[in-house]
Amino acid sequence: TYTLPDYQTQCGCTDIMMHTMERYFVLEDTMEITDAIAEDVMKNVMKYARILKEDPKNYEARAEIMWCGSLSHNGLTGCGTNGGDWATHLIEHEIGGMFDVAHGAGLAAVWGSWARYVMDEKIERFVKFAQNVMGVNDRGDNRETALAGIEAVEAFYKDIKMPVNMRELGVEPTEDEIREMAEKATNQGSRTIGAFKKLGVEDLIKIYTAAK
């Protein structure tokens, strides 16, 4: 991976982070050990992605990222989570299908909008993530703590020069294009996507629009 340009390295780090997050944000009661593994994977990805931003030839950082990738993608961080959510991936796939964007960057651009849209389904999960992964102090209000965690993720993406909206991604879809992506993601409205909150066409239009 030494040959990868910085942008693609950080896209890869983002995708590893997101594969773990897709399995982490579930409505089911999860296993403590699974959560602990997932939380440490996410913290390590953020730590070493920042190091690689400054020192792309750092062997230890690349080794840690590759190991995090193996743990994130082999299903370990999804044990006991009933499969995970995966809405953010499906939302991004339609952006990637319509525009020439890198997958990891597309995920970073839409995750915050997805998170703010679904967080109230199980706010405690976002609070746990904010405190255990992002190091957010208890704000005395679950919603404020959860929102601070989402903002901290976006701050991390900015640190590694990943976009946090579609404008920063370099795309500005029209209303018609947004509806087309929402319809394609749901097979023309014949299914919902996601598990944390089941999302239909109109939900996705709102998420895409918020991510502009």
Q: What is the pLDDT of residues 147-166, one digit of tens each?
A: 999 999 999 999 999 999 99
Rounded Cα distance, 156 and 18, in Å: 13
Q: In Å, how far from its chain's centre is CA 94?
A: 15
Q: What residues pair up with 132 in beta bridges, in sequence order? A: none
Q: Where does the pLDDT of residue 11 fall: very low under 50, low under 70, confident under 90, or very high at 90 and above? A: very high
pLDDT tens by residue, 92-144? 999 999 999 999 999 999 999 999 999 999 999 999 999 999 999 999 999 99
CB contact at 8 A, 124 and 142: yes
CB contact at 8 A, 156 and 182: no
CB contact at 8 A, 161 and 10: yes
Token output for 66: 């590759």
- Fill in the amino acid letter for 47: K
Mean pLDDT of 191-209: 98
Q: What residues pair up with 137 in beta bridges, in sequence order? A: none
> For residue 82, what pLDDT is reported?
86
pLDDT at residue 81 is higher than 90: no
Query: By C-alpha distance, which of 40, 35, 184, 207 is closest to 119?
Result: 207
Token output for 77: 């961080």
Q: What residues pair up with 199 in beta bridges, in sequence order? A: 193
> For residue 163, what pLDDT is reported?
98
pLDDT at residue 48 is higher than 90: yes
Rounded Cα distance, 191 and 185, in Å: 9
**What is the reported pTM?**
0.96
Mean pLDDT of the chain: 97
